[in-house]
Amino acid sequence: MIRQGNTNAEVYEYRYVTESSFDSYMWQLLETKQKFIGQVMTSKSPARSADDLDDAALSYAEVKALAAGNPMIKEKMDLDIQVARLKTLKTAYNNEHYRLEDAITQGFPAEMRKTAQQLENAKADTIRLQQNTKRDADGKDVFAITLMDTIYTKREDAGKALLGLLGMAMNRTEPVSIGRYKGFDLQIAYFAIDKMYLAYLVGSGINPVQLGADAVGNTVRLDNCLHNLPQSVTDLESKLVQLQKQLENAKEQLAQPFAQADELAEKNKRLAELEALLNLNEKDIVLDTVPDEDQQCRSDNRQRGQER
């Protein structure tokens, strides 16, 4: 429509199709291709692959039936699309089925054991914190930290000493123990890729704290980590309950059969019947017809008579 030399302001486009002809098959192919393209572009289909429909050529039996206006061809094309869609759903169902089996037998039990251990550690560390926290007459925490056998009672001094010890973690593959704080072993580690220092308050569990350049701020971060232990207990208890619910839901979902199983079986059966009727399996068969002797003789006699 848009081409060099066209001076028309408007162009009309007409599409002609002929009923009971090859046109229906061609438009059916275009429709199916567009559906696959739409699925790929919008990620609406759970399928991970699609067949190249250009390779799905009609057999001679299909062309013959289509030229004769056979309505079974249209039915077969519709069934092909429906069966392909149902098989895609069945594949997605099977994949989800296998995933649920793995989650029920391995995933959820392992995660629940891990969470239960973390909960036990958090509870033990909470008790450890309570037993090793000293308070003054006003009920405020008394600060005291041991770094390399030296006890510091002022945050600024302790923070500067802590920064001075960070170099011990350089070029070390394992955390280095440098002291104790409120009943917890204090360790430091350096991560060269991230250029980051971490402190670990090690009790029944391992409680990481990211360190910065502020001396006093680092001591406050240690306190915040320990003060969050009671909330960690609550969070882990909730997580354990949620994991148990997810496990039960997964078991219920696993017990559900494929919803379209009957429909798929019925359409597959009908599709097989149509293929048998259309002789779709008889491709590339060449039938050689040889005239019998009587017919050959009569033909030879007629030819000699004409020559005389």
Tell me if 281 is assigned to some domain: no
Amino acid in the structure at residue 98: Y
- Helix (H) or strand (E) holding 188, with range, is strand 184-191
Tell me if 81 is assigned to some domain: no
Q: What is the pLDDT of residue 148?
A: 94
CB atoms within 10 A of CB 51: 10
| Pick from 81, 78, 76, 73: nearest CA to 53 | 81
Tell me if 212 is assigned to some domain: yes
pLDDT above 90 coverage of the chain, percent = 56
Q: How far apart are CA 270 and CA 301, in angstroms?
A: 53
Tell me if 284 is assigned to some domain: no
Q: Torsions phi, psi of 102, nearest 5?
A: -65, -40
What 3-state class would DSSP assign to 186? strand
Residue 207: strand pairing partners: 201
Q: How many domains does the chain have?
A: 1
Q: What is the pLDDT of residue 70?
A: 72
Which residues form the domain of 154? 130-249
Tell me if 106 is assigned to some domain: no
What 3-state class would DSSP assign to 278? coil
Degrees to nearest 5, angle at CA 110 with 254 and 255: 5
With b for 16 or more beta-carbon neighbours within 10 A and e for fewer, the 182-214 pattern comes to bbbebbbbbeeeeeebbbbbbbbbebebebeee
When pLDDT is cut at 50, 70 and 90, the band that residue 157 belongs to is: very high
Amino acid in the structure at residue 145: I
Tell me if 264 is assigned to some domain: no
Q: What is the pLDDT of residue 307?
A: 52
Greater confidence (18 vs 185) lies with 185
Dump pLDDT digits (tens) for 242-262.
999 999 999 999 999 999 999
Dump pLDDT digits (tens) for 98-136.
999 999 999 999 999 999 999 999 999 999 999 999 988
141: which residues sit within 8 A by CB, 6+ positions away? 133, 134, 135, 223
Amino acid in the structure at residue 167: G
Q: Torsions phi, psi of 188, nearest 5?
A: -130, 150
Tell me if 13 is assigned to some domain: no
Q: What is the pLDDT of residue 20?
A: 64
Tell me if 60 is assigned to some domain: no
